[in-house]
Amino acid sequence: MTKVPSITLNNGVAMPQLGFGVWQVPDDEATATVSTALEAGYRSVDTAAVYENEKGTGRALAGSGIPREELFVTTKVWNTDQGYDTTLRAFDASLERLGLDRVDLYLIHWPMPDAGRYVDTYRAMESLLADGRVRAIGVSNFLPEHLERLIGEVGVVPAVNQIELHPQLQQTDARAFHALHSIATESWSPLGQGRGLLEVPTVVAIGRKHGRTPAQVVLAWHLALGLVVIPKSSTPSRIRENLDVFGFELDEEDMAALAALDEGRRLGPDPATFTGL
C-alpha cells in the first residue's frame, strides 16, 4: 500500500502531505467514500462543519479499524460560529458528530475580515490546543494581511493556511509569506475542481511523457512544491489514482511548463469579502 510522506508542522506535528477532501460528498455517501479512501491508503481526511458530512466521515474512521494515532483529521469552524464561545461550542459539536475526542487540525474556514471576529475565534482555538483537544490549529482562506494581523495579536502562529491553489492559481506571494512564517500551505481544489485544468494540453502532454494521468501530473506538481494537497473524488478508481503519485517525479522542464499556466484566477470566492451568507 502507498506510504504517503509527511511534512512537519511548525509545532512539530507530522501531517500527511496528501489527504482526502470530502467537500460536496453527501453525509449518506461519506461513510462509503471515506472508507474507500482509507482502504486505498489515505490517512488524512479534510472535512468541515459546513460540509455536513462529519457524521458519515466519522463512521468511516471508526469502522476502518485503523488506530487513531495513524489518522489525521481536519475540520473547520464555519463563519456563523466565529467568536470565542461560539467556536468552543462549534468544536464540541464537530467532535461529537465525528465521534472523536480530538482532531488533528482545526481551521478557521474563512477570515470574514469585516465581521472582525477571527482573532477571538483563534483565541478559542488556542485554548483547545492548550487543552490537548486539537493537535494543531490554523486558518483557511486567509490573505497575508489577515495573517499579519492575527500573528501580531495571538501567541500561536497558525500551523497551516489552506487556500485555493492549483496550476492556474499558483499563489506565489501567499506561499512566500507562509514560508517566511513557517506556515504550511495546503492546496484546496488542487485539481482545479476537475474542470478545464485536466484537459490543458501542457498537462496532458506531461502526463503522456511519464505514462501518468493529468490528475497525477497536477498532484505531483503540488508535492514537488512542498504543498499539502487534498484531492476529492467519489469514484473509487480515481480515489486510488490520486494516491498513486509517488512513483515518478516531474523534471525541471515539466515544472517550468506548469509554472507558465498561472492565470491568477480564482474558481472560488474572494477571501476579502466572502461571508457565505
**Which residues, 91 to 150, sit near ligand NAD by CB under 6 A?**
109, 140-141
**Which residues, 47 to 66, sit near ligand NAD by CB under 6 A?**
none
Alpha helices by DSSP H, 191-274: 201-210, 214-224, 236-241, 252-259
Q: Which residues contact 242 (CB under 8 A, 6 or more apart)?
A: 18, 191, 215, 216, 219, 231, 233
**Residue 192 makes contact with ligand NAD by CB under 6 A:** yes
46 vs 54 by CB, closer to ligand NAD: 46
252 vs 263 by CB, closer to ligand NAD: 263
Q: Are strands 14-16 and 6-8 parallel, antiparallel or unpaired?
A: antiparallel
Residue 62, judged by CB atoms within 10 A of its CB (0-12, 13-18, 19+), counts as middle
Report the nearest approach of ligand NAD to the CB of residue 190 (Å).
5
For CA atoms 45, 51, 143, 265, the dihedral sign is: positive
What is the per-residue burial (b if ≥16 Cβ within 10 Å, else e) of 93-103? ebbebbebeeb
Which three cell numbers mark 181?
A: 512564517
Neighbours of 132 (CB within 10 A): 9
Report the nearest approach of ligand NAD to the CB of residue 62 (Å).
20
42 catalytically annotated = no
Report the nearest approach of ligand NAD to the CB of residue 248 (Å).
15
50 vs 124 by CB, closer to ligand NAD: 50
- Given the residues 42, 51, 106, 118, the one annotated as active site: 51
- From candidates 4, 16, 21, 121, binder to ligand NAD by CB under 6 A: 21
Cell 472582525, located at residue: 116
**Which residues, 238 to 267, sit near ligand NAD by CB under 6 A?**
238, 241-242
Report the nearest approach of ligand NAD to the CB of residue 273 (Å).
14
**Residue 198 makes contact with ligand NAD by CB under 6 A:** yes
Report the nearest approach of ligand NAD to the CB of residue 18 (Å).
11
Yes or no: say if 170 and 259 are a contact pair by the CB < 8 Å rule. Answer: yes
Cell 501518468, located at residue: 212
**Residue 207 makes contact with ligand NAD by CB under 6 A:** no
- The stretch among 19-27, 36-44, 93-101, 148-156 that binds ligand NAD (CB under 6 A) is 19-27
Question: Which residues are catalytic, by number?
Answer: 51
| Contacts to ligand NAD by CB under 6 A | 21-23, 46, 109, 140-141, 162, 188-194, 198, 213, 215, 230-233, 238, 241-242, 268
